[in-house]
Structure 1
């Protein structure tokens, strides 16, 4: 059984309201101070804390096309007309970058003949499409990024927007 001291004065109700108000004010000032931090410096500090290196984020993809018709084990595309026309139109904005991802289907026949490697064949497919685009003056070579993947016998072209970076 709990015995309450009836002689003890009860706390005034406004004290609880004052404490709540004080905590809200402290939280508000912490929020104001946190908004003054440069987001790039904050991200760099977080990366450094985890031991990650400074990397440039990949361009945000905004459009896509494909070059198809690769025979198994071949890096020669059969259908590039639509991809070439798409690249000419898509590359008009100098703030964009074109990522060409060469793909293989993962089968035993869809590999590079000399090495038996699927990723090498995928890289050759991306390179072949890039060479065609450069040869046809569809895009400047400095705006092309090559990569490899697995999926189908094709090359996937994605247009990435890098914004106003210098």
Structure 2
């Protein structure tokens, strides 16, 4: 007696290759339906429809620029937005970066998350991070056109810094 004799006989049915072929055909039909559905998709109308469903007003959406390179100001004093050192090297870097009209600069500032690293007047870490971003943006203002300099704060807290990234925004239409 062999081990093959211990297993029951398999029931008669469709050949396995036919089931696999049917699965493949179903996947192809689904793929072509997806292609056909995406031909007439208006992404702005879809986004506006989703916003309207949640009760928000339609708005113009700017594409998020692609970050290319970064520099920054690090080691702010706890609770302070005073620039810790000269920013001449950062200004020179920014001046060269904005010589290309297709880029913009984004200043992202953060706090370290400790109880000491908050705005002394309000006790808010977010206000201090915004003050740090504004201080760096003000230092870069003489060399960067205003519409090409964006300011934001970072969440969650990381360290006492303000990072400036070069973002490729693309050709003007």
User: Scaled by the length of structure 1, what TM-score is found?
Assistant: 0.71
1:145 paired residue number: 150
2:49 paired residue number: 48
Partner Cα distance (2:100, 2:168) in 1: 9
CA root-mean-square deviation? 3.0
Please list the CA deviations of residues 76-132 of structure 1 after superposition, one character each: whole Å capped at 9, or x if unmatched.
112323322211111111121111011111111111110011110100000000001
5+ long unaligned stretches in structure 2: 1-25
Aligned residues: 143
The alpha-carbon deviation at position 31 of structure 1 amounts to 7.4
User: Scaled by the length of structure 2, what TM-score is found?
Assistant: 0.68
Structure 2 CA distance for partners of 1:30 and 1:89, relative to 1, 3 Å: same
2:100 counterpart of 1:93 = yes
Structure 2 CA distance for partners of 1:88 and 1:33, relative to 1, 3 Å: same
Q: Secondary structure at the match of 1:132?
A: helix
5+ long unaligned stretches in structure 1: 1-22
Structure 2 CA distance for partners of 1:46 and 1:141, relative to 1, 3 Å: closer
Partner Cα distance (1:147, 1:164) in 2: 23
Moved over 6 A (4+): 26-29
The alpha-carbon deviation at position 62 of structure 1 amounts to 0.9
**Which of 19, 37, 40 in structure 2 is aligned with 1:37?**
40
Structure 2 CA distance for partners of 1:78 and 1:31, relative to 1, 3 Å: closer
The alpha-carbon deviation at position 43 of structure 1 amounts to 5.1
For 1:1-166, list aligned pairs within 5 A. 33=36, 36-37=39-40, 41-42=42-43, 44-45=45-46, 48-49=49-50, 51=54, 53-54=58-59, 55-79=61-85, 80-134=87-141, 137-149=142-154, 150-166=157-173
The alpha-carbon deviation at position 161 of structure 1 amounts to 1.0
Partner Cα distance (1:83, 1:96) in 2: 16
